[in-house]
Chain A
Amino acid sequence: MPHKPPTKEELERRKTVGIHEETVTNVSANDFPMNYPGEDHSWDIEAFKRNFRVEFHQNDPFEASFSLVGCDASIANAFRRIMIADIPTLAVETVFINNNTSVIQDEVLAHRLGLIPFKGGREGLHKFLKWWRRPADESQINNSYYDFNTVLLRLDVRCEHNEDAAPGETDPTKLYKHAHVYARDIEFCPVGRQSRYFSGDDVIAPVHPDILIAKLRPGQEISLTMHMHKGVGSDHAKFSPVATASYRLMPVIQIERPILGADAEKFARCFPRGVIGLEPVTKEEASRKGSGYEGHEGELKAVVVDPMRDTVSRECLRHEEFKGKVKLGRRRDHFIFLVESTGQWESDAIFLEAVAHLKKRAQDLEKQVINMVR
């Protein structure tokens, strides 16, 4: 029997996840060889090149949004996971407390310091700084810190009475000097070759200078030094380069039968603003037999304007009047990514880094497999 290639509708149906009142259907990918008789779904890099595309929606340093269209969830998810857990960043790892008479306990203070995101010269962070490794011999630990694996920071703040404060002043920030300790009080101490990579605009500094670290009262003091190391998010979330990296699937809204007049307005209110628009029924539509628009010329009908803005709340499925008139779904191979950087890297660079990381992992394992066979 000669094989008929699948129709456009069939292809559309295959890659749409059905979203119903209580259930979700057609969830798993099915584009594998031998799944559909007579169709070739084997891996073909040329076909992938033809079908895969990227669309940008936003590209700011701290927030990038883009769509990957035409790839499998396993690939998109690998990129997402790598962005969160495997891209190295620099963060405070060790805190040496010389004096801490503030009300915040040493360990809580150290934890807060660890979570502050820092920025610095990209070249230095990427190329110059290497991993720090704990020496096998614990007594050698003080010989393991070098300019290429450790960044030294200092924080020395002492709170005093402000002699110039107005009498009757109640605001502690005016009454005392250094009542609040902010991230901007942290001082970077370049060592060795670090000044070559981290000076001027490239100096290592908190991304947000106004992060409140502690509050002090006169006589209290915080005096500490910190070591920053490179690390990855799988070890500790402070090393993650992203505040969040997530994706969602492109929503699909299909209006199967006409929704008109007051119903159309109600229908539009079931969705976030901008998803559903109202348009008058044209003369041509009204004259077409069986379209459902006969005799409704000039009335408002609901049309899908921008499904991407939909949250797929399913609100429209709860109303009797829309039963059988609308189908909701999600496009299984359309991933709308949202990458929010913490500031050390730019969001789009983090994604590219993730792709490069996956490639490197595959490359390393290929060598390992060859080595295994020998």
Chain B
Amino acid sequence: MAKAKVKKDEPTAAEPASDVVMDEAPTSHQPEAADDGMSVDANENEDDIEEEEDEEEEEEEVQRVRLLPGSTPTAASFEFLNEGHTLGNALRYIIMKNPEVEFCAYAIPHPSENKMNVRIQTFEGTTAIEALQKGLRDLQELCDVVTDKFIDARERFVAASSS
């Protein structure tokens, strides 16, 4: 699997759990150094580093989503590269529709940085990452329904206007 292979030599943004003080970390522009940790579960790679330099080559494989430091399992901020209001607002809406989500918001910290942040806080029983994944899945389902209904309506309209 291509993704898995890339993962080996180009570690992703998922940082190892460590007890770095989070308070000084700026919300948007993160230093490229590897010292911002986070305390979310599911971390195995102890020495993952940032990989923003590799953005240029092989644009397919670039990791565009990362957890911002200071996140806990039920309250996390995500940074999306190369996304904007288009996906940000739609995703915020669909995540807010999830009853297990206590809070969800998105922001574009600076208009000249191509970054979009999403903050998700959930109730106990689920995690912010799960809520994000559910949101992305729901958005895909929604798109399928819109496509089907649109094609149906168009067929009906064409049939009605030609008869």
A interface residues (Cβ-Cβ under 8 A, vs B): 29, 32-34, 40-43, 45, 48-49, 52-56, 59, 66, 68, 71-72, 74-75, 77-79, 81-82, 85-86, 136, 348, 351-352, 355-356, 358-359, 361-363, 365-374
Contact = CB atoms under 8 A, between A and B. Distances in A.
A69 to B, nearest CB: 10
Contacts of B91: 362
Contacts of B97: 32-33, 41-43
Interface in B1-42: 3, 7, 12-14, 42
A68 B146 contact: yes
Instruction: From A29, A68, A352, A358, name the one whose CB has the most chain B CB atoms within 10 angstroms.
Output: A358
B146 A52 contact: yes
A358 B89 CA distance: 12
A49 B145 contact: yes
A358 B139 contact: yes
Interface in B123-140: 129, 132-133, 136-140
Contacts of A369: 65, 129, 132-133, 136
B7 A59 contact: no
A367 B3 contact: yes
Contact of A45 (B86, B93, B145): B145
B12 to A, nearest CB: 6
B93 A72 contact: yes
B89 A359 contact: no
Contact of B133 (A40, A41, A358, A366): A366
A81 B150 CA distance: 18
Given A56-B153, A78-B86, A370 B133 contact: yes
B85 to A, nearest CB: 7
A56 B158 CA distance: 9
Contacts of A53: 149, 153
Contact of B153 (A66, A136, A361, A366): A66
B66 A48 contact: no
Nearest to B129: A373
A43 B99 CA distance: 8
- The 7 residue pairs across chains A and B that have the minimum distance between CB atoms: A56-B157, A43-B97, A359-B143, A54-B153, A33-B99, A74-B93, A42-B99
Instruction: From B140, B149, B152, name the one whose CB has the most chain A CB atoms within 10 angstroms.
Output: B149
A371 B7 contact: yes
Nearest to B156: A56
Contacts of A79: 146
B139 A40 contact: no
A373 B14 contact: yes
Contact of B150 (A33, A34, A351, A368): A351
A34 B144 CA distance: 27
A369 B137 CA distance: 12
Interface in B41-91: 42, 56-57, 63-67, 80, 83, 85-87, 89-91
Contacts of A356: 143, 147
A86 B86 CA distance: 10
B146 A71 contact: yes
Contacts of B107: none
Contact of B56 (A136, A355, A361): A136
A32 B99 CA distance: 8
A56 B86 CA distance: 24
B89 A45 contact: no
Contacts of B93: 29, 72, 74-75
Contacts of A59: 154, 157-158, 161
A54 B150 contact: yes
Contacts of A362: 87, 91, 136-137, 139-140, 143
A348 B154 contact: yes
Nearest to B101: A33
Nearest to A136: B56
Given A34-B99, A355-B146, A373-B14, 8 more contacts: A33-B99, A72-B93, A77-B85, A82-B86, A352-B150, A355-B143, A373-B42, A374-B14
18 contacts: A29-B93, A33-B96, A33-B98, A34-B99, A43-B138, A45-B138, A45-B142, A54-B152, A59-B154, A68-B146, A77-B89, A78-B90, A85-B86, A359-B144, A362-B143, A365-B136, A372-B63, A372-B129
A33 B153 CA distance: 30
Contacts of B42: 373-374
